[in-house]
Structure 1
Amino acid sequence: MPSWSSCSMPEILELTDDDPLIRGTRGASRGPGWRSADGRAVAFTGYDADGRVRALVALGPPEETVELVAAVYGEMPEGIRVIVPRGTPLALTQPSDWNFRAAFGAPPPQPAEAGVAWCDDEDAVTDLLTLVSPGTSAWPGDPKVRRWAGIRQDGRLLACLADTSSVDGVGHVSAIAVHTDARGCGLGPSITAWAMRRMFARGCDVVTLGVYADNTVGLRMYDRLGFTVNRALTTGLMKRSD
Protein backbone atom coordinates (compact mmCIF):
# COMPACT_ATOMS: atom_id res chain seq x y z
CA MET A 1 0.00 0.00 0.00
CA PRO A 2 1.49 3.41 -0.96
CA SER A 3 2.44 5.74 1.89
CA TRP A 4 0.73 8.70 0.22
CA SER A 5 -2.10 9.58 -2.17
CA SER A 6 -3.48 12.55 -4.08
CA CYS A 7 -6.32 14.51 -2.53
CA SER A 8 -8.29 17.70 -3.09
CA MET A 9 -7.86 21.00 -1.28
CA PRO A 10 -11.25 20.60 0.47
CA GLU A 11 -9.99 17.25 1.78
CA ILE A 12 -6.76 18.87 3.01
CA LEU A 13 -8.72 21.59 4.79
CA GLU A 14 -10.90 18.93 6.43
CA LEU A 15 -7.85 16.92 7.51
CA THR A 16 -6.23 20.04 9.04
CA ASP A 17 -9.35 21.51 10.67
CA ASP A 18 -9.33 24.48 8.28
CA ASP A 19 -5.73 25.37 9.05
CA PRO A 20 -5.35 29.19 8.78
CA LEU A 21 -2.11 28.96 6.79
CA ILE A 22 -3.80 26.80 4.16
CA ARG A 23 -7.03 28.83 4.21
CA GLY A 24 -5.07 32.03 3.69
CA THR A 25 -3.35 30.81 0.53
CA ARG A 26 -5.13 32.20 -2.51
CA GLY A 27 -7.91 29.74 -3.23
CA ALA A 28 -7.49 29.77 -7.00
CA SER A 29 -3.71 29.48 -6.66
CA ARG A 30 -3.27 26.29 -4.65
CA GLY A 31 -3.38 22.60 -5.39
CA PRO A 32 -3.08 19.81 -6.32
CA GLY A 33 -2.71 18.21 -2.91
CA TRP A 34 -1.38 15.05 -1.34
CA ARG A 35 -1.72 13.31 2.01
CA SER A 36 0.16 10.64 3.92
CA ALA A 37 -1.59 7.30 4.42
CA ASP A 38 -2.82 8.24 7.89
CA GLY A 39 -3.60 11.84 6.95
CA ARG A 40 -1.26 13.38 9.52
CA ALA A 41 0.95 14.98 6.84
CA VAL A 42 -0.40 16.98 3.89
CA ALA A 43 1.17 18.90 1.03
CA PHE A 44 -0.03 21.21 -1.72
CA THR A 45 1.42 23.47 -4.39
CA GLY A 46 1.06 27.23 -4.42
CA TYR A 47 1.02 29.26 -7.64
CA ASP A 48 1.97 32.84 -8.46
CA ALA A 49 -0.26 35.35 -10.30
CA ASP A 50 0.96 33.99 -13.66
CA GLY A 51 -0.05 30.42 -12.85
CA ARG A 52 3.48 29.17 -12.24
CA VAL A 53 4.24 26.84 -9.34
CA ARG A 54 6.08 28.87 -6.70
CA ALA A 55 6.22 26.54 -3.69
CA LEU A 56 5.46 23.12 -2.29
CA VAL A 57 3.97 23.53 1.18
CA ALA A 58 3.98 20.52 3.51
CA LEU A 59 2.62 20.34 7.06
CA GLY A 60 2.64 17.55 9.63
CA PRO A 61 5.01 15.61 11.87
CA PRO A 62 8.58 15.94 10.50
CA GLU A 63 9.08 12.19 10.09
CA GLU A 64 5.97 11.90 7.90
CA THR A 65 6.41 15.25 6.17
CA VAL A 66 9.86 14.30 4.88
CA GLU A 67 8.47 11.09 3.33
CA LEU A 68 5.59 12.93 1.68
CA VAL A 69 7.83 15.66 0.24
CA ALA A 70 10.30 13.10 -1.07
CA ALA A 71 7.45 11.22 -2.75
CA VAL A 72 5.87 14.17 -4.56
CA TYR A 73 8.77 16.56 -5.16
CA GLY A 74 9.66 14.83 -8.40
CA GLU A 75 6.37 16.09 -9.85
CA MET A 76 7.39 19.70 -9.20
CA PRO A 77 9.12 22.01 -11.69
CA GLU A 78 12.86 22.49 -11.22
CA GLY A 79 13.94 25.02 -8.61
CA ILE A 80 10.74 25.62 -6.63
CA ARG A 81 10.81 26.41 -2.92
CA VAL A 82 9.78 23.95 -0.24
CA ILE A 83 8.05 25.11 2.95
CA VAL A 84 8.15 22.54 5.78
CA PRO A 85 7.96 22.41 9.59
CA ARG A 86 11.29 23.38 11.11
CA GLY A 87 13.26 20.27 11.97
CA THR A 88 12.02 18.27 8.99
CA PRO A 89 15.12 16.24 7.99
CA LEU A 90 15.47 17.53 4.43
CA ALA A 91 18.72 18.75 2.89
CA LEU A 92 17.65 22.26 1.88
CA THR A 93 19.86 24.91 0.30
CA GLN A 94 19.36 28.62 1.01
CA PRO A 95 17.21 27.80 4.06
CA SER A 96 15.23 30.56 5.77
CA ASP A 97 13.62 30.04 9.16
CA TRP A 98 10.38 31.88 9.90
CA ASN A 99 7.29 31.62 12.05
CA PHE A 100 3.66 31.61 10.96
CA ARG A 101 1.49 33.50 13.45
CA ALA A 102 -2.31 33.62 13.70
CA ALA A 103 -4.71 35.52 15.98
CA PHE A 104 -8.39 34.70 16.43
CA GLY A 105 -9.49 37.76 18.39
CA ALA A 106 -9.04 41.52 18.62
CA PRO A 107 -5.85 42.71 20.34
CA PRO A 108 -5.57 44.85 23.47
CA PRO A 109 -5.66 48.64 22.82
CA GLN A 110 -2.32 50.13 21.82
CA PRO A 111 -1.08 53.68 22.59
CA ALA A 112 -0.74 55.11 19.07
CA GLU A 113 -3.72 53.54 17.28
CA ALA A 114 -5.45 56.91 16.99
CA GLY A 115 -2.65 58.07 14.70
CA VAL A 116 -3.02 55.24 12.16
CA ALA A 117 -4.80 55.76 8.83
CA TRP A 118 -4.90 54.20 5.39
CA CYS A 119 -2.03 55.59 3.34
CA ASP A 120 -1.83 56.15 -0.44
CA ASP A 121 1.61 57.82 -0.43
CA GLU A 122 3.47 54.95 -2.07
CA ASP A 123 6.65 56.99 -2.52
CA ALA A 124 6.84 57.54 1.24
CA VAL A 125 6.18 53.84 1.89
CA THR A 126 8.93 52.88 -0.56
CA ASP A 127 11.39 55.25 1.10
CA LEU A 128 10.58 53.87 4.56
CA LEU A 129 10.87 50.24 3.52
CA THR A 130 14.12 50.91 1.65
CA LEU A 131 15.56 52.47 4.78
CA VAL A 132 14.51 49.97 7.45
CA SER A 133 13.25 46.80 5.75
CA PRO A 134 14.80 46.26 2.29
CA GLY A 135 14.13 42.51 2.47
CA THR A 136 10.39 42.92 3.00
CA SER A 137 7.95 40.60 1.25
CA ALA A 138 5.67 43.37 -0.07
CA TRP A 139 6.28 46.68 -1.84
CA PRO A 140 4.11 49.42 -3.33
CA GLY A 141 2.88 48.28 -6.73
CA ASP A 142 2.80 44.63 -5.70
CA PRO A 143 -0.57 43.21 -6.86
CA LYS A 144 -0.96 41.20 -3.66
CA VAL A 145 -1.20 44.42 -1.59
CA ARG A 146 -4.80 45.56 -1.06
CA ARG A 147 -3.76 48.83 0.61
CA TRP A 148 -1.25 50.38 2.97
CA ALA A 149 -1.66 51.76 6.48
CA GLY A 150 0.63 54.39 7.92
CA ILE A 151 1.44 56.57 10.91
CA ARG A 152 2.55 60.13 10.17
CA GLN A 153 4.00 62.70 12.53
CA ASP A 154 4.96 66.20 11.42
CA GLY A 155 4.47 65.17 7.80
CA ARG A 156 6.85 62.19 8.00
CA LEU A 157 5.79 58.58 7.52
CA LEU A 158 7.11 56.80 10.61
CA ALA A 159 5.41 53.41 10.29
CA CYS A 160 3.72 51.35 7.57
CA LEU A 161 1.91 48.05 7.09
CA ALA A 162 0.50 46.22 4.07
CA ASP A 163 -2.88 44.48 3.98
CA THR A 164 -2.08 41.44 1.84
CA SER A 165 -5.22 39.45 2.61
CA SER A 166 -6.02 37.16 -0.31
CA VAL A 167 -9.20 35.29 0.62
CA ASP A 168 -12.40 36.20 2.43
CA GLY A 169 -12.35 35.46 6.13
CA VAL A 170 -8.56 35.45 6.57
CA GLY A 171 -6.75 38.73 7.16
CA HIS A 172 -3.02 38.89 6.45
CA VAL A 173 -0.56 41.67 7.26
CA SER A 174 2.91 42.15 5.80
CA ALA A 175 5.72 44.70 5.54
CA ILE A 176 5.37 46.10 9.06
CA ALA A 177 8.10 48.71 9.37
CA VAL A 178 8.96 51.50 11.81
CA HIS A 179 11.40 54.33 11.14
CA THR A 180 14.63 54.11 13.13
CA ASP A 181 13.88 57.54 14.61
CA ALA A 182 10.60 56.29 16.13
CA ARG A 183 11.46 52.88 17.54
CA GLY A 184 10.47 52.22 21.13
CA CYS A 185 7.38 54.43 20.83
CA GLY A 186 4.86 51.62 20.36
CA LEU A 187 4.22 52.33 16.68
CA GLY A 188 4.73 48.71 15.54
CA PRO A 189 2.12 47.18 17.85
CA SER A 190 -0.20 50.15 17.30
CA ILE A 191 -0.31 49.90 13.50
CA THR A 192 -0.63 46.10 13.70
CA ALA A 193 -3.49 46.25 16.24
CA TRP A 194 -5.27 48.93 14.17
CA ALA A 195 -5.14 46.75 11.05
CA MET A 196 -6.23 43.65 12.97
CA ARG A 197 -9.33 45.45 14.27
CA ARG A 198 -10.37 46.45 10.78
CA MET A 199 -9.87 42.95 9.44
CA PHE A 200 -11.99 41.43 12.20
CA ALA A 201 -14.61 44.16 11.64
CA ARG A 202 -14.92 43.26 7.96
CA GLY A 203 -15.69 39.64 8.82
CA CYS A 204 -12.33 37.88 9.15
CA ASP A 205 -12.23 35.19 11.83
CA VAL A 206 -8.43 35.04 11.86
CA VAL A 207 -5.52 37.40 11.12
CA THR A 208 -2.16 35.95 10.07
CA LEU A 209 1.39 37.03 9.35
CA GLY A 210 4.89 35.67 8.85
CA VAL A 211 7.94 36.77 10.83
CA TYR A 212 11.60 35.77 10.57
CA ALA A 213 12.60 33.40 13.36
CA ASP A 214 15.44 35.65 14.57
CA ASN A 215 13.10 38.64 15.03
CA THR A 216 12.72 38.10 18.77
CA VAL A 217 11.31 41.59 19.34
CA GLY A 218 8.60 40.97 16.75
CA LEU A 219 7.77 37.53 18.13
CA ARG A 220 7.25 38.98 21.60
CA MET A 221 5.14 41.80 20.18
CA TYR A 222 2.86 39.34 18.38
CA ASP A 223 2.49 37.35 21.59
CA ARG A 224 1.24 40.49 23.32
CA LEU A 225 -1.19 41.21 20.47
CA GLY A 226 -2.85 37.80 20.81
CA PHE A 227 -1.21 35.78 18.03
CA THR A 228 -1.65 32.42 19.74
CA VAL A 229 -0.56 30.25 16.79
CA ASN A 230 3.24 30.19 16.53
CA ARG A 231 4.34 27.63 13.93
CA ALA A 232 8.06 27.23 13.20
CA LEU A 233 8.73 26.71 9.48
CA THR A 234 11.68 26.60 7.10
CA THR A 235 11.71 27.60 3.44
CA GLY A 236 14.46 26.41 1.11
CA LEU A 237 15.38 24.70 -2.13
CA MET A 238 15.57 20.96 -2.31
CA LYS A 239 18.18 19.13 -4.35
CA ARG A 240 16.72 16.50 -6.65
CA SER A 241 17.91 12.91 -6.49
CA ASP A 242 19.96 11.82 -9.49
Structure 2
Amino acid sequence: MRELFTVAEVEDACGGDDLIVWAAQGMRPGVRAFAHGDGVAVASPRASRRDRLAVRGGTADVAALVRHALAEVGPSYRPFGDAALVAEVARAVPELAFTAGFSWMTTTRLADRTDRDAGGARWLDPGEEPEVTDLLTSANPDSYAVPGLPRVRRWAGIRDAGGRLLAVAADAWSAPTVGLLAGVATAAEARGRGLGERVCRFVARALLDEHGRASLMVDDDNRAAIGVYARLGFARRRVAAAAVPD
Protein backbone atom coordinates (compact mmCIF):
# COMPACT_ATOMS: atom_id res chain seq x y z
CA MET A 1 0.00 0.00 0.00
CA ARG A 2 1.52 3.34 -1.00
CA GLU A 3 0.30 6.90 -0.94
CA LEU A 4 0.42 9.09 -4.04
CA PHE A 5 1.22 12.76 -3.65
CA THR A 6 1.21 14.31 -7.13
CA VAL A 7 -1.09 14.47 -10.12
CA ALA A 8 1.60 12.76 -12.21
CA GLU A 9 1.69 9.83 -9.78
CA VAL A 10 -2.10 9.49 -9.91
CA GLU A 11 -2.20 9.68 -13.71
CA ASP A 12 0.53 7.05 -13.98
CA ALA A 13 -1.21 4.72 -11.51
CA CYS A 14 -4.59 4.93 -13.26
CA GLY A 15 -3.40 5.14 -16.86
CA GLY A 16 -4.91 8.58 -17.28
CA ASP A 17 -8.46 7.41 -16.43
CA ASP A 18 -10.55 10.60 -16.63
CA LEU A 19 -12.79 9.64 -13.68
CA ILE A 20 -9.80 9.10 -11.37
CA VAL A 21 -7.97 12.19 -12.64
CA TRP A 22 -11.10 14.28 -12.14
CA ALA A 23 -11.48 13.03 -8.57
CA ALA A 24 -7.87 14.03 -7.85
CA GLN A 25 -8.88 17.68 -8.49
CA GLY A 26 -5.28 18.65 -9.15
CA MET A 27 -4.39 17.18 -5.71
CA ARG A 28 -5.84 20.24 -4.02
CA PRO A 29 -5.59 20.36 -0.21
CA GLY A 30 -7.57 17.56 1.42
CA VAL A 31 -7.33 15.10 -1.49
CA ARG A 32 -5.48 11.85 -0.78
CA ALA A 33 -4.61 9.05 -3.19
CA PHE A 34 -3.43 5.49 -2.69
CA ALA A 35 -2.22 2.63 -4.90
CA HIS A 36 -1.94 -1.10 -4.32
CA GLY A 37 -1.16 -3.69 -6.99
CA ASP A 38 -3.11 -2.59 -10.06
CA GLY A 39 -5.60 -0.64 -7.95
CA VAL A 40 -5.84 3.07 -7.28
CA ALA A 41 -8.16 5.03 -4.99
CA VAL A 42 -8.55 8.80 -4.71
CA ALA A 43 -10.34 10.30 -1.71
CA SER A 44 -11.77 13.65 -2.80
CA PRO A 45 -13.68 15.74 -0.24
CA ARG A 46 -16.86 17.45 -1.40
CA ALA A 47 -16.33 16.63 -5.07
CA SER A 48 -19.69 17.35 -6.63
CA ARG A 49 -21.11 17.65 -3.10
CA ARG A 50 -19.97 14.22 -1.94
CA ASP A 51 -16.93 12.85 -0.17
CA ARG A 52 -15.97 10.55 -3.03
CA LEU A 53 -13.51 7.67 -3.15
CA ALA A 54 -12.87 7.10 -6.86
CA VAL A 55 -11.54 3.60 -7.54
CA ARG A 56 -10.10 1.59 -10.40
CA GLY A 57 -8.41 -1.81 -10.71
CA GLY A 58 -8.94 -5.46 -9.80
CA THR A 59 -11.47 -6.31 -7.14
CA ALA A 60 -9.04 -7.71 -4.55
CA ASP A 61 -6.63 -4.77 -4.80
CA VAL A 62 -9.42 -2.19 -4.78
CA ALA A 63 -11.15 -3.84 -1.81
CA ALA A 64 -7.88 -3.64 0.14
CA LEU A 65 -7.49 -0.01 -0.91
CA VAL A 66 -11.03 0.86 0.13
CA ARG A 67 -10.50 -0.64 3.60
CA HIS A 68 -7.25 1.30 3.97
CA ALA A 69 -8.64 4.55 2.61
CA LEU A 70 -11.76 4.47 4.78
CA ALA A 71 -9.56 3.93 7.84
CA GLU A 72 -7.44 6.92 6.79
CA VAL A 73 -10.10 9.43 5.71
CA GLY A 74 -13.27 8.23 7.42
CA PRO A 75 -16.55 6.49 6.55
CA SER A 76 -18.18 9.47 4.84
CA TYR A 77 -16.24 8.68 1.63
CA ARG A 78 -18.25 6.79 -0.95
CA PRO A 79 -16.48 4.33 -3.30
CA PHE A 80 -17.23 5.42 -6.86
CA GLY A 81 -16.16 3.73 -10.11
CA ASP A 82 -17.20 1.28 -12.81
CA ALA A 83 -20.52 -0.29 -11.86
CA ALA A 84 -19.36 -3.91 -11.93
CA LEU A 85 -16.28 -3.11 -9.85
CA VAL A 86 -18.23 -1.20 -7.20
CA ALA A 87 -20.77 -4.03 -6.92
CA GLU A 88 -17.95 -6.56 -6.42
CA VAL A 89 -16.18 -4.37 -3.87
CA ALA A 90 -19.42 -3.85 -1.95
CA ARG A 91 -19.73 -7.63 -1.68
CA ALA A 92 -16.08 -7.98 -0.61
CA VAL A 93 -16.17 -5.24 2.04
CA PRO A 94 -18.99 -6.10 4.46
CA GLU A 95 -19.33 -2.61 5.91
CA LEU A 96 -20.23 -1.23 2.47
CA ALA A 97 -23.66 -1.17 0.83
CA PHE A 98 -24.22 -0.64 -2.89
CA THR A 99 -26.21 2.58 -3.23
CA ALA A 100 -26.85 3.59 -6.84
CA GLY A 101 -25.83 3.21 -10.45
CA PHE A 102 -25.57 6.15 -12.84
CA SER A 103 -23.45 7.24 -15.81
CA TRP A 104 -20.20 9.10 -16.26
CA MET A 105 -19.81 10.63 -19.71
CA THR A 106 -16.67 12.12 -21.25
CA THR A 107 -15.47 13.67 -24.49
CA THR A 108 -12.27 15.12 -25.87
CA ARG A 109 -13.98 16.53 -28.97
CA LEU A 110 -17.47 17.78 -29.64
CA ALA A 111 -19.42 16.09 -32.39
CA ASP A 112 -19.73 18.18 -35.54
CA ARG A 113 -23.30 19.42 -36.00
CA THR A 114 -24.25 21.71 -38.83
CA ASP A 115 -27.83 22.11 -37.62
CA ARG A 116 -27.07 23.03 -34.01
CA ASP A 117 -24.64 25.45 -32.43
CA ALA A 118 -24.26 27.33 -29.17
CA GLY A 119 -26.01 30.44 -30.49
CA GLY A 120 -27.47 32.64 -27.79
CA ALA A 121 -25.51 31.05 -24.94
CA ARG A 122 -23.15 33.21 -22.89
CA TRP A 123 -21.49 33.30 -19.50
CA LEU A 124 -23.72 34.94 -16.92
CA ASP A 125 -22.65 37.65 -14.52
CA PRO A 126 -22.74 36.96 -10.76
CA GLY A 127 -25.68 39.34 -10.48
CA GLU A 128 -27.73 37.02 -12.68
CA GLU A 129 -27.27 34.01 -10.39
CA PRO A 130 -30.50 34.52 -8.40
CA GLU A 131 -32.32 33.83 -11.67
CA VAL A 132 -30.25 30.65 -12.06
CA THR A 133 -31.36 29.57 -8.59
CA ASP A 134 -35.00 30.22 -9.49
CA LEU A 135 -34.73 28.21 -12.71
CA LEU A 136 -33.03 25.28 -10.97
CA THR A 137 -35.68 25.30 -8.25
CA SER A 138 -38.42 24.78 -10.80
CA ALA A 139 -36.66 22.83 -13.56
CA ASN A 140 -33.97 20.76 -11.78
CA PRO A 141 -34.44 20.88 -8.00
CA ASP A 142 -32.08 17.92 -7.47
CA SER A 143 -29.14 19.64 -9.17
CA TYR A 144 -25.87 19.18 -7.26
CA ALA A 145 -24.54 22.42 -8.72
CA VAL A 146 -26.23 25.57 -7.45
CA PRO A 147 -24.99 29.16 -7.30
CA GLY A 148 -22.82 29.98 -4.31
CA LEU A 149 -21.34 26.55 -3.66
CA PRO A 150 -17.54 26.30 -3.42
CA ARG A 151 -15.93 25.34 -6.76
CA VAL A 152 -19.12 25.96 -8.75
CA ARG A 153 -17.12 28.33 -10.89
CA ARG A 154 -19.47 29.92 -13.43
CA TRP A 155 -22.85 29.64 -15.13
CA ALA A 156 -23.87 29.91 -18.76
CA GLY A 157 -27.38 30.68 -19.90
CA ILE A 158 -29.73 31.42 -22.77
CA ARG A 159 -32.44 34.09 -22.57
CA ASP A 160 -35.46 34.65 -24.75
CA ALA A 161 -36.14 37.85 -26.65
CA GLY A 162 -37.86 39.29 -23.59
CA GLY A 163 -34.85 38.61 -21.38
CA ARG A 164 -36.21 35.61 -19.47
CA LEU A 165 -33.62 32.98 -18.53
CA LEU A 166 -34.64 29.71 -20.20
CA ALA A 167 -31.63 27.36 -19.99
CA VAL A 168 -28.49 27.09 -17.86
CA ALA A 169 -25.43 24.91 -17.31
CA ALA A 170 -22.40 25.22 -15.05
CA ASP A 171 -18.66 24.74 -15.00
CA ALA A 172 -18.35 23.12 -11.57
CA TRP A 173 -15.77 21.06 -9.67
CA SER A 174 -13.49 21.01 -12.71
CA ALA A 175 -10.01 19.52 -12.41
CA PRO A 176 -6.99 20.89 -14.30
CA THR A 177 -7.26 18.31 -17.11
CA VAL A 178 -10.93 17.28 -16.77
CA GLY A 179 -13.66 19.93 -16.82
CA LEU A 180 -17.04 19.03 -15.34
CA LEU A 181 -20.38 20.07 -16.85
CA ALA A 182 -23.15 20.27 -14.23
CA GLY A 183 -26.31 22.11 -13.22
CA VAL A 184 -28.12 21.69 -16.54
CA ALA A 185 -31.72 22.92 -16.58
CA THR A 186 -34.28 24.15 -19.11
CA ALA A 187 -37.54 25.88 -18.26
CA ALA A 188 -40.46 23.47 -18.71
CA GLU A 189 -42.21 25.64 -21.29
CA ALA A 190 -39.02 25.94 -23.38
CA ARG A 191 -38.17 22.25 -23.67
CA GLY A 192 -37.98 20.59 -27.06
CA ARG A 193 -36.36 23.62 -28.70
CA GLY A 194 -32.74 22.51 -28.35
CA LEU A 195 -31.85 25.14 -25.76
CA GLY A 196 -30.36 22.64 -23.32
CA GLU A 197 -28.17 21.20 -26.05
CA ARG A 198 -27.02 24.69 -27.07
CA VAL A 199 -26.03 25.78 -23.57
CA CYS A 200 -24.31 22.44 -22.93
CA ARG A 201 -22.38 22.77 -26.20
CA PHE A 202 -21.26 26.25 -25.14
CA VAL A 203 -20.01 25.09 -21.73
CA ALA A 204 -18.48 21.85 -23.06
CA ARG A 205 -16.57 23.77 -25.72
CA ALA A 206 -15.15 26.10 -23.05
CA LEU A 207 -14.20 23.12 -20.86
CA LEU A 208 -12.42 21.40 -23.74
CA ASP A 209 -10.53 24.58 -24.62
CA GLU A 210 -9.37 25.01 -21.02
CA HIS A 211 -8.98 21.44 -19.74
CA GLY A 212 -8.72 19.15 -22.77
CA ARG A 213 -11.48 16.82 -21.56
CA ALA A 214 -15.09 17.44 -20.53
CA SER A 215 -17.09 15.07 -18.32
CA LEU A 216 -20.43 14.93 -16.56
CA MET A 217 -22.59 12.70 -14.37
CA VAL A 218 -26.17 11.80 -15.28
CA ASP A 219 -28.86 9.51 -13.87
CA ASP A 220 -29.42 6.41 -15.97
CA ASP A 221 -33.17 7.03 -16.15
CA ASN A 222 -32.68 10.50 -17.66
CA ARG A 223 -32.82 9.27 -21.24
CA ALA A 224 -33.47 12.68 -22.75
CA ALA A 225 -30.33 14.15 -21.18
CA ILE A 226 -28.22 11.13 -22.14
CA GLY A 227 -29.40 11.57 -25.73
CA VAL A 228 -28.37 15.23 -25.71
CA TYR A 229 -24.93 14.44 -24.33
CA ALA A 230 -24.44 11.62 -26.83
CA ARG A 231 -25.28 13.96 -29.71
CA LEU A 232 -22.65 16.36 -28.38
CA GLY A 233 -20.05 13.59 -28.53
CA PHE A 234 -19.93 12.37 -24.92
CA ALA A 235 -19.24 8.64 -24.48
CA ARG A 236 -21.20 6.86 -21.77
CA ARG A 237 -19.67 4.78 -18.97
CA ARG A 238 -21.81 2.96 -16.41
CA VAL A 239 -20.63 3.72 -12.89
CA ALA A 240 -21.94 3.26 -9.38
CA ALA A 241 -21.38 4.27 -5.78
CA ALA A 242 -21.36 2.42 -2.48
CA ALA A 243 -21.40 3.77 1.06
CA VAL A 244 -20.97 2.89 4.67
CA PRO A 245 -24.55 3.07 5.98
CA ASP A 246 -25.21 5.57 8.75
* Short-chain TM bin: 0.7 to 0.9
Instruction: Please tell me the residue identity of whatever aligns with 1:168.
Output: P
What is the CA distance between 1:93 and its match in structure 2?
A: 4.5
1:60-139 aligned at under 5 Å gives the runs 60-62=57-59, 64-87=61-84, 88-89=87-88, 90=90, 92-93=96-97, 95-109=99-113, 111=116, 113-120=118-125, 121-139=128-146
Structure 1 residues 94 and 115, CA gap change in structure 2 (3 angstroms): same
Greater Cα offset, 63-72 or 108-117? 63-72
What is the CA distance between 1:132 and its match in structure 2?
A: 1.3
Instruction: Please tell me the residue identity of whatever aligns with 2:226.
Output: L
Aligned residues: 229
Say whether residues 1:185 and 2:212 are aligned partners: no
Q: Which residue of 1 aligns with 2:35?
A: 35
Work out the CA distance in 2 between the residues paired with 1:193 and 1:105. Answer: 11
Say whether residues 1:216 and 2:220 are aligned partners: no
Partner secondary structure for residue 110 of structure 2: coil
Give the percent of matched residue pairs that are identical in Structure 1 and Structure 2: 29
Instruction: Please tell me the residue identity of whatever aligns with 1:44.
Output: V
Q: 2:205 aligns with which of 197, 203, 207?
A: 197
| Contact 1:29 1:47 survives alignment (8 Å) | no
Say whether residues 1:163 and 2:160 are aligned partners: no
Say whether residues 1:176 and 2:184 are aligned partners: yes
Gaps of 5+ in 1: none
Instruction: Please tell me the residue identity of whatever aligns with 2:174.
Output: S
Q: Which residue of 2 aligns with 1:238?
A: 244
| Contact 1:112 1:190 survives alignment (8 Å) | yes
Work out the CA distance in 2 between the residues paired with 1:143 and 1:199. Answer: 18
| Contact 2:120 2:159 survives alignment (8 Å) | yes
Q: Which residue of 1 aligns with 2:17?
A: 19
Instruction: Please tell me the residue identity of whatever aligns with 2:9.
Output: E
What is the CA distance between 1:72 and its match in structure 2?
A: 3.8
Gaps of 5+ in 2: none
| Contact 2:40 2:55 survives alignment (8 Å) | yes
| Contact 1:107 1:197 survives alignment (8 Å) | no
TM-score by length of 2: 0.82
Work out the CA distance in 2 between the residues paired with 1:161 and 1:200. Answer: 15
Work out the CA distance in 2 between the residues paired with 1:58 and 1:6. Answer: 15
What is the CA distance between 1:30 and its match in structure 2?
A: 5.8
What is the CA distance between 1:67 and its match in structure 2?
A: 4.4
Structure 1 residues 175 and 94, CA gap change in structure 2 (3 angstroms): farther
| Contact 2:110 2:234 survives alignment (8 Å) | no
Structure 1 residues 145 and 105, CA gap change in structure 2 (3 angstroms): same
Q: Which residue of 2 aligns with 1:46?
A: 44
Work out the CA distance in 2 between the residues paired with 1:198 and 1:72. Answer: 34
Work out the CA distance in 2 between the residues paired with 1:93 and 1:124. Answer: 38
* CA deviation string 1:144-192 (max 9, x = no partner): 1221100111221110011115333332210011111011111111111
Work out the CA distance in 2 between the residues paired with 1:176 and 1:118. Answer: 14
Structure 1 residues 195 and 64, CA gap change in structure 2 (3 angstroms): same
Work out the CA distance in 1 between the residues paired with 2:218 and 2:13. Answer: 26
* CA deviation string 1:208-234 (max 9, x = no partner): 111112212212221111112x22222
Work out the CA distance in 2 between the residues paired with 1:185 and 1:62. Answer: 45
Instruction: Please tell me the residue identity of whatever aligns with 1:24.
Output: W
Partner secondary structure for residue 234 of structure 1: strand
Work out the CA distance in 1 between the residues paired with 2:83 and 2:105. Answer: 14
Partner secondary structure for residue 166 of structure 1: coil
Instruction: Please tell me the residue identity of whatever aligns with 1:7.
Output: E
